[in-house]
Structure 1
């Protein structure tokens, strides 16, 4: 049993919500010719975003430069100049700050575009042209080596927060950039083939959807404390409990756990059953959180993408209300919207 294939247009909506970039009332018709798959969708988002940056103005920051120059500017390092005897030729060592577009976010953009350009066989003709144009717009940016750590180094602030979507695209493309079967070459894996990546997207999508469409609830990823008695050394090794989505309403509390699995049900002896680990995890959340005041009647929901068996089960377990739900990501977006509202209600 596998989740139905997600149409590219719906994948765009998932990413837009997950990255908090969805515009209310927005309806997007993604060009199937330009975006036949997820890889090309990300390339299109990146190319279009860089075009808008070039029109709006690239992010700039002050960088310190040290230069031996006949034109005095900034702070003149007299001691270093005389030590190196640059003054004999009429030049001095100067330190100065200069506003430049050669910032880390722009360097990440250029490195990602170069990777996309090197995997041109995976891109449509229009997206290959977009990447070439994007690289021409980033011509003044120094190339850098891109790795996972670099995405923790850049900082977004009020003046460059419009880079957020593009940084998400770059990070996702980095995570999908893997060695191919051809020796020495690399290619981009399909996002839908990565359960780890899609689980994160699916979870963030549901949480951001709830924030936007459940105004009567406080929505969060909540940390739950274990209830018990132990010494400090035990506390250090206890696993953390962090919910995917928690809806805190005055009259109703729901802990929702999102599961993006190829097989939402386990098949044994021609019988389909729930993953026991998923149910154990949810009941652990409920059992510990229900000890807090006001959370005694907390409910739990396991939410899966659509599977061959539509899941819409409600029952009580250990006196907790439990829901096992699925959402078909292969249907039209208005139906997905309506179904998710029903699950979150």
Structure 2
């Protein structure tokens, strides 16, 4: 099925599988074989499989601070509160102690996401039943208000690494789809362009990392400004960072890719259709600053996700500017995924060999 942005939902799954390699494991094979009518149904299916696997391994636990009134001392004594209890002739001790608990941010986000997916009209009944069964195992875990989730507080280490993909899916649901209604309630909406753009960018990078083992370098690299030796140090500090989306290197050749996901690929000025000027200026700046010796071995490519526009560079445009190749092309995410892979392979072959 196709979502409201003209993209095969199955292709979104394939993109996720490159962005998060764990989805290529055997327990997700049944998800890859399914057909989905709504993207939230896809996310529900992935979470149902992933959370079921996590429950078998055990939910992540971390130390949380508890405050309690006990008959025997545990942890540290809250002296002020204990004295207050004694004045009231209560023979109890107010204590503060650490305890391993499943009621932590990681599991709270999982439970909250399941809650909203279960209520969503876009989730198939089969996946709602699967999530409802898993929901029972989170009885001691609190639900969160979606707007209160501090995503930047999520840091993964050895014991919580398994949660990274699951919580990224939760983020796509909770931050990318869940919208507040006028009545202050929540409902599922379209998958946001902002989150789709991040997924599109990460997919392309991870595709080249996975499929092109001949590349000596594949990363999101910072490009250094090609500054003259007499440049003012005070001015240098004000220069913006040049952060590329995808930086590929093979031998002496470099290809810098900027991945773009817009509602409209082309801009219109005086009835003329052109590429977004800011995109072209940006990729050209990256290329010329990377190619300090003017070798011509550095190329730049703008890769757009195909939109509903009729006129777009599907075959690819390429020009040589100042000795460097600069190109633009669109990936049609509404095609068979093998066609998308071939197009990405052709880009790398053309510029890097």
Deviations 1:285-318 (A, max 9, x none): 1111111x69752111111223544232333122
Equivalent residue for 2:210? 212
Q: Tell whether 2:335 aligns with 1:323.
A: no
In the alignment, is the contact (CA less than 8 A) between 2:38 and 2:123 conserved in 1? no
Deviation at 1:225, TM superposition (A): 2.4
Deviation at 1:270, TM superposition (A): 6.6
Give the whole-Å Cα distance in 2 for the aligned partners of 1:36 and 1:314. 37
Give the whole-Å Cα distance in 2 for the aligned partners of 1:152 and 1:184. 24
Deviation at 1:267, TM superposition (A): 5.0
In the superposition, the TM-score normalised over structure 2's length comes to: 0.84
In the alignment, is the contact (CA less than 8 A) between 2:69 and 2:95 conserved in 1? yes
Runs of at least 5 residues in structure 1 that lack an aligned partner in the other structure: none
Equivalent residue for 1:137? 137
Q: Does 123-132 or 86-95 show the bigger shift?
A: 86-95
Give the whole-Å Cα distance in 2 for the aligned partners of 1:65 and 1:4. 47
Deviations 1:200-247 (A, max 9, x none): 111110011111122222111111223346545533443321111001
In the alignment, is the contact (CA less than 8 A) between 2:296 and 2:323 conserved in 1? no
Give the whole-Å Cα distance in 1 for the aligned partners of 2:152 and 2:5. 34
Q: Does 156-165 or 264-273 show the bigger shift?
A: 264-273
Q: Does 6-15 or 230-239 show the bigger shift?
A: 230-239
Q: 1:38 and 1:86, CA in 2 relative to 1: closer, same or farther beyond 3 A?
A: farther
Q: 1:188 and 1:237, CA in 2 relative to 1: closer, same or farther beyond 3 A?
A: farther
In the alignment, is the contact (CA less than 8 A) between 1:74 and 1:95 conserved in 2? yes
Q: 1:213 and 1:83, CA in 2 relative to 1: closer, same or farther beyond 3 A?
A: same
Report which structure shows greater RCO (CA 8 Å, sep ≥6): 1
Equivalent residue for 1:225? 224
In the superposition, the TM-score normalised over structure 1's length comes to: 0.85
Deviation at 1:166, TM superposition (A): 1.1
Count of residue pairs the alignment pairs up: 336
In the alignment, is the contact (CA less than 8 A) between 1:8 and 1:30 conserved in 2? no
Partner SS, residue 42 of structure 2: helix
